[in-house]
Homo-oligomer: A and B are copies of this chain.
């Protein structure tokens, strides 16, 4: 027994030392190496710069175009400046995607322009008829003109979707789309044939969502504020009945961009006038019927009643203004079909049931042998998603969606993130099960997580800075921001445990685009120290 204890002690000490070496000493050495410009062998000719319009929420980027960072000076500890700018200027965030062939783009220009033209003329015909009908029924509907504009932001956003991500980092379109969603005239509410499934006003009280259509025919899903920023999900509430939080939807978009996934459609906060921008423009009788005036004389609407109308499910303006998130719609399913697949790590959605992954520690071995997880990147993509969900605290990822066109190699869409950020003090480790059970992670993901764990780029700092650009700021409370750092370290710890158990080669999968950065180069620079 005594000898066993001594061995245990020795093993523990070795583990502590290894952890120290791996997470503290090596990163410091790496950071020194980076600043002296030696370690990044991917080379200047393989990096692209952000364009003058910059990334989202980083207008300062334009100042950086004339001061190229090709020699790696981005990592210089210029602590006074913007950490977000520094992050997005880092070589890891400037790896060029290969030139896109038609098969690698979701949509073709002609196809989408044609679709858009038909939408505009349909709208015009429809409004003529509807105005007549409304006049007869004595309903006042504000009739907004629709303009056809081939340069419109949503069109460009849809055209930019490719096999690698929803948008490119250097695409100014997303910034414009966000501006448009934030300020453009709403011409109709409640109709939603495009994207996010097919339903109109989501009938569950917890999914009080509206589809808003803008003057340029852009569509966005509006999720109204249901909870104050500092309210936390009560501990007795199950994940599947938790409220949806508009600020979580906004924050998830920013986090996804900061992780460089770009799998969340653009989201922005907006103060919506639910009288003039919803009630007065909707042509939906059912939606009009759920509006009422509260005892405090505020305009409110509640979820479409299936059984009984409960006004406690209502969202109310003050007296008409209601804040909420607006998520850009993806291209309609008719032109860009998607498939929705249950997550292998789906939860039971019952009070007592447990799924196999919750009880079987070797669950991943089974999954790894099953199509489509037995080849390609699908399982690694699931693991990326689990890391994203763990960071935001989202337990509700029952399905994921992919664009049919890109087949099994397509990236996973991270839609519907409003159940994140419910409990800042809780780190729900079970969300990380795909990572902890499969012990696999993309090298690109790991490198970015390690970067964000460093004080020069600290995740909470870049998130705070990024969210500051939203008009509904503050989007997250400080405890929720700081929780991101704590959770990030927990993700890295899980990876570290896997590496110790199985070795680096088993755990870390090289995934850099062959045509631009050789896996060896990237690995040399960052992983093999």
Contacts and interface: CB of A to CB of B under 8 A. Distances in A.
Contact of A352 (B293, B306, B308, B314): B293
A295 B241 contact: no
Given A307-B306, A307-B307, A308-B307, A294 B238 contact: yes
Contacts of A311: 237-238, 241, 351
A444 to B, nearest CB: 34
A352 B236 contact: no
Contacts of A352: 292-293
Nearest to A237: B312
A494 B212 CA distance: 50
Interface string A235-275: 11111010000000000000000000000000000000000
**Number of copies of this chain in the oligomer?**
2
B296 A241 contact: no
Interface in A197-242: 205-206, 235-239, 241
Contacts of A501: none
Contacts of A476: none
A285 B307 CA distance: 24
| Most chain B CB atoms below 10 A, which of A293, A295, A316 | A295
Nearest to A395: B295
B296 A236 contact: yes
Given A293-B352, A351-B292, A352-B292, A236 B298 contact: yes
A493 interface: no
A310 interface: yes
A357 B295 CA distance: 18
B235 A294 contact: yes
Nearest to A205: B310
A300 interface: yes
A312 B235 CA distance: 11
Contacts of A293: 351-352
A296 B237 CA distance: 8
A308 B207 CA distance: 14
A238 B310 contact: no
Chain A contact surface mostly: loop
A323 to B, nearest CB: 15
Contacts of A351: 292-293, 311
A351 B302 CA distance: 12
Contacts of A241: 310-312
A528 to B, nearest CB: 42
Interface in A384-401: none
| Most chain B CB atoms below 10 A, which of A206, A236, A238 | A236
A301 to B, nearest CB: 11
A410 B312 CA distance: 37
B295 A237 contact: yes
Contacts of A310: 205, 241
| Most chain B CB atoms below 10 A, which of A206, A292, A306, A352 | A292
Interface string A425-454: 000000000000000000000000000000
Contacts of A295: 235-239
Nearest to A312: B241
A55 B486 CA distance: 58
A311 B308 CA distance: 16
A184 to B, nearest CB: 28
A293 B353 CA distance: 11
A236 B307 contact: no
B238 A296 contact: no
Contacts of A235: 294-296, 298
A309 to B, nearest CB: 9
Contacts of A306: 307-308
Interface in A125-162: none
Contacts of A206: 312
A289 to B, nearest CB: 11
Contacts of A294: 235-238
A292 B310 CA distance: 24
A241 B295 CA distance: 12
Interface in A44-83: none
Nearest to A310: B241
Interface string A302-327: 00001110111010100000000000
Nearest to A313: B241
Interface of A: 205-206, 235-239, 241, 292-296, 298, 300, 306-308, 310-312, 314, 316, 351-352
9 contacts: A235-B294, A236-B294, A236-B300, A236-B314, A237-B295, A237-B312, A241-B312, A292-B352, A293-B352
Given A235-B296, A236-B316, 12 more contacts: A205-B310, A235-B294, A235-B298, A236-B300, A237-B312, A238-B295, A238-B311, A239-B295, A293-B351, A293-B352, A306-B308, A311-B351
Those 10 A-B pairs whose CB atoms lie nearest each other, nearest first: A307-B307, A236-B294, A235-B296, A292-B351, A236-B316, A241-B311, A241-B312, A236-B296, A236-B298, A238-B311
